[in-house]
Structure 1
Amino acid sequence: MSSFRKRTAAIQPKLPAGAKLSPHNGQVLVSSGIPSLDDLLGGGLPVGSVVLVLSDRYTDYSNILLRYFVAQGLASGHQLHLASADMDPQKIIQRAPSWTTTSPTPNTSADSPAVQKTTEALDKLKIAWRYQNLPTGDQDTARRTTGTTPFCEKFDLMVPVKPRIIDQATVSYTDLTQPRNTSEDANEDGNDKDRNQGITDDYEALFAELAHAIEDGGFSSLAPAAKAPAERNILRIGIHDLASPYWQAQSDESCARFLHALRGLLRFSFGVCMITLPAHLYQTESERPGAVRRWEQLCDAVVELESFNGSRNTKATAGGLDCNGFFYIHKQPQLNSLVPSSSKLVTVSGNQLSANNLAFKQKRHKFYIETFYLPPEGGVSERRVEPRSSSSSSAAGKTSKTASSGRACSSLDF
């Protein structure tokens, strides 16, 4: 008996809803909710990464990115975990924008019987009968990358998400504005359900909550196959204004230790985190302090929004009346690769990504990022040519008559 066995293709695991594979390094990506931001970061947010958004001094544009991030999680059916120390985290999801369903209509759906019959009839005419039952690569790729859930929805900032959708979603909160029970109070009350009892550091309390959500929720990739869920899902973590004065810390290194531990926890899990940080509270007018630079190194991607409101760059402010501010990318995500994916896949800046030529716009219904251009010097108004006077026209007529007579024109001729 021959020992030969036909080599078959390995069964690829099914991607979570609202996720796709990066064409650059095969990394699983999820959308931030803003197509232009996904393009600048190489196609989306890598699963297992930490994205840091540096807030502006005078405006609240960074929280718009966080609301888009949360709204895209609701649209894709992802599980959410929101945390804040200066406001109720439920307000973050309540202010998230709503979206327009972009799924195909029943008349044009690819799964409808009429479309399937037409496709089968065309396939029979194009290929031989022995190849009809073989799976096609295009169909398999479309099913794994797109599926029934769009990668990025179209959101409307003017319409908040409906409370019915929030009630149907799986959302957990870490409200650090509420006082926690100490170990003595917990022993007297007999309440052992509080995992943060005796913890006075907000960073340690939040990390304990996130570790519990990842391990008990089945989002860890290190869990045994028997305990792993049949269909994977994505955990989206949103942290509002990290390291603000409302965060209680035992030492100055608490925030750095938290980011280091969070990055290691998410690297082996089906989760992605977006953090807003008010960096203007720590920096001076001349340079950014070392603490902010250390926090940036402990994250996978760092972006900054600088509004034109209160900006000292008068030339850029006057030229960017259509824009709301500059958008800087201080660090690109670089997971499973030596080169960032955006160096080959970005299209917003015409494949010439620069840290100083991007601007963001907030319209009534949407928020997007585009390339920043200065207007031409002198304005863009139409040039108007004044009509020639009668004296100049008569002089031109005499000159033409003299030239037509055939004699040479001297310097004394008028």
Structure 2
Amino acid sequence: MSFTRKSKPASSSTQAAPFSTGLSSLDDLLGGGIPPSCSVVYTAPDLHSEYGVLLQKYFVAQGLATGEKIYVVGSTAEWVNECMWTPPNATTVEEADEADKLKIAWRYESMKQFETTVASSSSSRTFDLTVRIPPAVVSDALAKHQLVLVDAEAPARVLSRLKDVLATNTVPVRICIPSLGGPQWGDLGPQDILRFLHRLRALLRQYPQACASTSLVATVSGDSYGNGPGWHQRVGWVADGSMTLSAFSANPALAAAFPSAHALVRLHNLPSPHSLVPASDRFSVIRGASGENNISLKCTRKRVVFETMHLGVEGGVGERRTEATVTKKKAEKRVARFEGDAYDF
């Protein structure tokens, strides 16, 4: 019996590369990005945070930066203007993160750092949340029809228009559908949303040059939405990939236990085109060799990172930085003992 080392197969010239989401850590979870002819759905049930929409803006910004064709359904040009953009200096985000790191003892500096995420890759840009996309970039993309805004009409009409544009495009196409189920979509029920996602996945199967990224509005993202619990599982059945971003703002206990994280990420299913095993199970660095599902989301001032969930430093940062409390009486005793020892020789 012989054993061979697992290695990533060489990409074929006829196989299109996955679409980057704009986040290297999210690309790692998806096995390299969103595969062609596949759809991914994000659910974020917290009403006070919009992590699903934030990932959609990364998706659009990545498409604009790489010159790909983008169709945004149900949003306006003002929504695109709120997307993040690359900083003037490529090291701005990394330098800010270095400044925020905790200083450690000198005797531990030579040890290898504990890695919980992946570094930036060449396929995804380094976007800064404090930098907004220049309006000239958006207006130029609209004028050249690189960016097309599609109204949120009846689901059947939206699918019919997407079918027309996909049939006439041979270039890579990104379909972004933020806040599906919101007021702009009218009165959509659970069956309407599931039927739309299922037909969207069937449409993408016919066009290998396109992919879709969808986020559900918070009011229809809870697992109990529809006919009792199990909503997330049903959404996973009609999409190639689905994940839930549960913010810690709704659970103070989790926020206290994991102060460096902001949301718990639950992977329901992952894209696996032309394979029984998702590429993420074999090549994801964050999930590890065993395909773990203990992942968190951290949103700093400048970037968003998916990383392996881990406990912080024992005792907490605040306890390490506080000075020992010494009462006045104890201090006088120590001084008297020191003076007595100094003259006792």
Tell me the TM-score normalised to structure 2 length.
0.72
Rate the CA distance shift 1:210–1:347 in 2: closer, same or farther, 3 A.
same
SS in 2 for 1:303: strand
Distance apart, 1:379 and its partner CA: 3.7
| Distance in 2 between residues matched to 1:101 and 1:39, nearest whole Å | 26
- Please tell me whether residue 161 in structure 1 is matched to residue 133 in structure 2: yes
Instruction: Show CA shifts across 1:380-401 (max 9, x none).
Output: 53496999988xx9xxx9xxxx
CA displacement at 1:174 relative to structure 2 = 1.4
- Supply the distance in 1 between the matched residues of 2:18 and 2:135 (Cα, whole angstroms): 28
The answer to whether the 8 Å contact 1:25/1:337 transfers is no
In the alignment, is the contact (CA less than 8 A) between 1:52 and 1:301 conserved in 2? Answer: yes
Counterpart in 2 of 1:307?
247
1:204 has 2:204 as partner:
no
Q: Tell me what 2:41 maps to.
A: 52
The count of residues paired between Structure 1 and Structure 2 equals 282
Larger relative helix fraction: 2
1:260 aligns with one of 166, 185, 198: 198
Identity across matched positions, percent: 27
Q: Gaps (5+ residues) in structure 1?
A: 1-21, 104-148, 177-200, 219-232, 398-414
Over the aligned positions, Cα root-mean-square deviation in angstroms equals 3.2
CA distance in 2, matches of 1:325, 1:290: 20
1:29 alignment partner, one of 11, 18, 33: 18
Give the aligned partner of residue 89 of structure 1. Answer: 76
Equivalent position amino acid for 1:210 in 2 = L
Partner of 2:130, secondary structure, is strand
AA in 2 matched with 1:216: T
1:298 aligned onto 2:285:
no
d(CA) in 2 for partners of 1:254, 1:364: 37
Q: 1:326 aligns with which of 249, 264, 277?
A: 264
AA paired with 1:167?
S
Q: 1:42 Cα shift? A: 0.9
Per-residue deviation, 1:295: 2.5
Distance 1:271 1:374, change over 3 A: same
Q: In terms of Rg, which structure is larger?
A: 1
> 64, 79, 93: which is aligned to 2:69?
79
Matched, 1:363 2:300: yes
Q: Which runs of 5+ in 2 are unaligned?
A: 1-7, 91-120
Question: Could you say what secondary structure the match of 1:45 adopts?
Answer: coil
Equivalent position to 1:340, from 261, 270, 278: 278
Residue type at the aligned position of 1:37 = L
Equivalent in the alignment of 1:275: 214
2:124 to 152, 157, 161: 152
Give the direction of change, closer, same or farther, for the CA distance of 1:360–1:291 in structure 2 (3 Å limit): closer
Spell out the pairing of 1:157-196 with structure 2 (5 A cutoff). 157-169=129-141, 170-176=146-152
Residue 309 of structure 1: SS of its match in structure 2?
A: helix
Question: In the alignment, what sits opposite 1:61?
Answer: 51
The AA in structure 2 aligned to 1:308 is: F
Q: Secondary structure at the match of 1:241?
A: strand
Do the aligned partners of 2:223 and 2:230 also contact (CA within 8 Å) in 1?
no
Once the two structures are superposed, the pairs formed by residues 104-183 of structure 1 within 5 Å of their partners are 150-169=122-141, 170-176=146-152
Q: Counterpart in 2 of 1:375? A: 312
Task: State the Cα deviation string for residues 72-119 of structure 1 (Å, max 9, x = none).
Answer: 0001110010111xxx4323311111125899xxxxxxxxxxxxxxxx
